[in-house]
Amino acid sequence: MKANIKYIGCDDAQLDLFESQYVTPEGMCYNSYLIMDEKIAVMDSVDPRKTDEWLQNLSTALEGRTPDYLVVQHMEPDHSGSLSAFRKLYPTATIVASEKALSIMKQFDEKTCFTPTMAVKEGDTISLGKRTLQFIGAPMIHWPEVIVTYCPEEKTLFSADAFGKFGVIDADSDDWACEARRYYFNICGKYGVPVSTLLKKAAALDIQTICPLHGPILEDVKLKEAIKLYSIWGNYGVETEGVLVAHASIHGNTKKAALKLAEILQQKGAKKVVVADLCRDDMAEVIEDAFRMNKLVVCASSYDGDVFPPMHMFLWKLKLKAYQNRTIGILENGTWAPSAGKAMRAIIEQMKNVNIVEPTVTIRSSLKEADIPALEVLADGILA
């Protein structure tokens, strides 16, 4: 880090599920920073799982000094979960946050007295001495109270959850995008418009370093890559030309049809085909792939007059995350009364700007030679 900005965050290698729903095979980190100047600012706290370690990191980095400010950019507990402990140890530090964040603070902990506090909004600044903190509103990335902070003297943006990723900080490899993409679409994906707005504000700043609340600090090539990808993701653009074939198969027959369709797509020249098993693969990874590519085929068994639940969950999550601007094909399987196609279509039709390839392909119990022409037609429609 820079000489006067110290990293005081914590790795959490033992975390099983982030937000109780996303697997974290490489763990997670909760970033926090200390800006040392005539006055000292702490940038965010950490998850309560790591309070003691964070306070130790903070104490060591302070070298006997006392913090003047704790800037709270985001109130989700993975960053605000140690505020009360901080307040007990440093009762004179001013807690700086948006008005909304200060009210949420009391909702999470009505017993702690957080004063002194300072409410800040877009355009407000605090001088630390040689350095300045400029506050920028970033509502709905991905909570309403979020601010990000720019330090012009250090050309550094403290970006809250934006530009974050899954994984402990020291497990970072050259592949920032994979876990950043899974993080982005599953956590921030619904909020493409606010992300695009923040990118426009950031474009007016001279930024050489991004310090997010998760994942590595970004500079140079990685910073450029991250901004380029965020501009695609925030606009629901296409990162990779390709087809995701996602299947939810009870006994394996729908899966066989999905695999045959994938084979036909490849034979017909699809640039990239990815097959996902919604019953077994990490759903968050499949959501990421759906947003990454421009075409999707959903293949599912019928179930209780509806669609097999893993597919229902997948499509419901896509809709929740504002999946849009894509081409979608539908394949259903049913033994006596196929219902999956109608159920899938009902969710897909609620999505914005999707092109459904007609007709829905229906197979009965298992794929047969007589079904192949219908798969060929679906593949042609997807690739058209």
Q: Which is nearer to ligand FEO, 136 or 261 (CB)?
A: 136
Q: Which is nearer to ligand FEO, 75 or 261 (CB)?
A: 75
Check residue 161 for interaction with ligand FEO (CB under 6 A): yes
Residue 332: C-alpha distances to residues 84, 248, 344 (Å): 53, 10, 9
Check residue 321 for interaction with ligand FEO (CB under 6 A): no
Q: Which is nearer to ligand FEO, 188 or 207 (CB)?
A: 188
Write the interaction track for ligand FEO spanning residues 204-233; mark x where CB under 6 A is met and - where it is not.
---------xx-------------------
Write the interaction track for ligand FEO spanning residues 119-158; mark x where CB under 6 A is met and - where it is not.
-----------------------x----------------
The interface region with ligand FEO, picked from 76-84, 120-128, 249-257, 324-332 by CB under 6 A, is 76-84
3-state secondary structure of 49: helix
Check residue 289 for interaction with ligand FEO (CB under 6 A): no
Q: Which of 11, 44, 68, 76 binds ligand FEO (CB under 6 A)?
A: 76
For 6-43, give one letter per residue: b (16+ CB within 10 A) or e. bbbbbbbeebeebeeebebebbbbbbbbbbbbebbbbb
The DSSP secondary structure of 328-363, one letter per residue, reads: EEEEEE-SSS--HHHHHHHHHTTSEEEEEEEEEEEE
Q: Which of 6, 49, 50, 79 binds ligand FEO (CB under 6 A)?
A: 79
Structure tokens at 92: 């004179």
Check residue 50 for interaction with ligand FEO (CB under 6 A): no
E strand spans, 163-213: 209-211
The interface region with ligand FEO, picked from 75-83, 108-116, 172-180, 246-254 by CB under 6 A, is 75-83
The answer to whether 273 and 262 are in contact (CB under 8 A) is yes
116, 117, 123, 126 alpha-carbon torsion, rounded to 10°: 30
229 φ/ψ angles, rounded to the nearest 5 degrees: -65, -40
Binding site for ligand FEO (CB under 6 A): 74, 76, 78-79, 142, 161, 213-214
